[in-house]
Structure 1
């Protein structure tokens, strides 16, 4: 049993949308296929992965560093103890050999992308959906019903309040009961008007979350907090620089309602520092660590250990990224839910064909692996890379 090839292609996910910090006009993602010599249904098992939006494709790091460490490793060293499957933890160790600690940067995205494909292959070899495999190996009961919220509300050329309202209405029509919009890309008065337009549209049918994408300094973050606390928001997200724990801690003095952050922290050490120094409150706040950006599920399991040790419930984790990998983790390891992009970053966002949102939740289908093959537009792109 061995991994015979790891293939990467950099794909565009460009769009005219922007948040408070970046536009997506040149955004890319890495798509990876891990090809094995294990045969199922007459064909080699192939695991697939890709990195989340907001970070660019990682082709250089994947091809020049991490791929060859796996391919050149002793095949037996990458297997589990019974030699019946690959061991993602041992493969992770092989990828990270000769890497210094700290300085996570872009390498965490490259490793996370390959790690996703490894777990996809492992679950396919087991003949199970990944979420059921995760529940089994961790002694849990899988829960296929997962909370999802609709992420949108980006700034877009010519997008007025009526367009914003129509977008949010479309999410409600598709079954969502929590929606999210961007703030911080215009003046505070303009954002107030945008927020009020959305709240007027959704009424008591849904809740609204807002996301500053790390744009604010402390003074601006406080100014927004004083404005936002007038409204019944689901959360106030990523207020300042993700590594400015003092700013995040200070915000709790001005904003009593839920806050959320963590999508741009890339290791369990970063997560531990956030919980130690960021003033996050386990009774109301949310953690958004994204395995695809932070060294993959192997590292995410360490992060969950850190969260537990700090007295937090895994239910306070609602990952960033809107991908099926985090959906599987949520269903298998009892997270609080997952982000969703109903219309954006296709074909990588969204759910398998036939999966619909009902009362803010989806039910995971029983598809082998992560379930990518159940999404026809994504499956065709992946198959092209594998073959």
Structure 2
């Protein structure tokens, strides 16, 4: 089997109300649908994120990547990933990584369809169940504590046993109040996750974590920039000394 063509369709539509996390505002929804066609009539589909970059950059990055897969066997997905991932050729971050991931999803889709096997089986089927959470708790115009609580209560009513909320987009004490509100809304037995999207310096992250500790937070996602090794080390230092 060989891949004969690779294409992507870009979709954008406005949100009724823009949402915001600790660093970014999202006025639109982005969907970039990747399609890989083969000489055996099997088509694989993948998804590439594309917020905060132009459609031209998104499409250009994908077009640069697709040269690595056209004419190739989709079952060689590990080798194709490695070739797309080569340093100094196409980059290792941002839009490049998103394009690689979307193509890889489409390759796995082809493998599953070609073998009539669920991808989770192809990956080894370690388990037939995985824990999930509902992400929300974004900042929105006109959204106060009551609205935040109602949103999280709805997530629990839908059957979720874990919810994630955004922090880092408001003063620390205000965010602590938001965390307290969510904990009260979901009760003591639902896991509470919080995500700062790299909005803090290490000392701010430590302050927030200490103030939020009493609300039994299950994890604290992206407190600082992942490339800020100095801040990451500084964040860990107080805990090593205890």
Kept after mapping to 1: 8 A contact 2:165/2:195: yes
The 8 Å contact of residues 84 and 90 in structure 2, kept in 1 or not, is answered as no
Work out whether residues 12 and 29 of structure 1, in 8 Å CA contact, stay in contact via their aligned partners in 2: yes
Q: What is aligned with 2:113? A: 124
Distance in structure 2 (CA, Å) of the matches to 1:202 and 1:53: 32
2:48 paired with 1:51: yes
2:239, 2:182 → 1: CA distance?
Answer: 21
Change (3 A) 1:206 1:48: same
Tell me, yes or no, if structure 1 residue 193 matches structure 2 residue 190. Answer: no
Cα pair 2:4 2:39 within 8 Å, conserved: yes
User: Judging changes above 3 Å, is the alpha-carbon distance between structure 1 residues 255 and 12 closer, same or farther for their aligned structure 2 residues?
Assistant: farther
Distance 1:104 1:235, change over 3 A: same
Runs (5+) with no aligned partner, structure 1:
39-43, 80-84, 136-140, 257-387
Match of 2:193 among 209, 224, 236: 209
Q: In the aligned structure 2, how far is the partner of 1:241 from the partner of 1:87?
A: 34
Whether the 8 Å CA contact 1:70–1:94 is kept in 2: the answer is: no
* Equivalent of 1:236 in 220, 225, 228: 220
Conserved 8 A contact 1:150-1:178: yes
Structure 2: distance between partners of 1:186 and 1:232: 20
> Is contact 1:221–1:240 with CA below 8 Å preserved after alignment?
yes
Alpha-carbon shift at residue 11 of structure 1 (Å): 1.6
Aligned equivalent of 1:144: 128
- 1:100 aligns to what? 88
Partner of 1:17: 19
CA contact (8 A) 2:203 2:235 kept: no
What displacement does 1:151 show? 0.9
Query: What per-residue deviation string (whole Å, max 9, x for no partner) do you get for residues 211-235 of structure 1?
Result: 1110111221222122122321111
Q: Is the alpha carbon distance of 1:53 and 1:94 closer, same or farther for their aligned partners in structure 2, counting shifts above 3 Å?
A: closer
Q: Give the TM-score, by structure 1 length.
A: 0.56
Distance 1:185 1:196, change over 3 A: same
Aligned residue in 1 for 2:38: 36
Which string of whole-angstrom CA distances, capped at 9 and with x for unpartnered residues, describes residues 38-79 of structure 1?
A: 2xxxxx21111112475656211112x1223332xxx4xx33
1:238 Cα deviation (Å)?
0.8
**Residue equivalent to 1:4:** 4
* Contact kept in structure 2, 1:178 and 1:234, CA below 8 Å: no
TM-score by length of 2: 0.87
1:89 to 74, 78, 88: 78
Query: Relative to structure 1, is the Cα distance of residues 48 and 108 closer, same or farther in structure 2, using a 3 angstrom cutoff?
Result: same
Contact 1:66 1:96 in 2 (8 A): no
Q: Which has the higher contact order (CA 8 A, sep 6+)?
A: 1
- SS of the residue aligned with 2:123? helix
Pairing of 1:1-387 with structure 2 (within 5 A): 1-12=1-12, 14-15=14-15, 16-26=18-28, 28-38=30-40, 44-52=41-49, 56=53, 58-63=58-63, 65-71=64-70, 75=71, 78-79=72-73, 86-95=75-84, 100=88, 103-105=91-93, 106-135=95-124, 141-254=125-238
Distance 1:93 1:53 in 2: 22
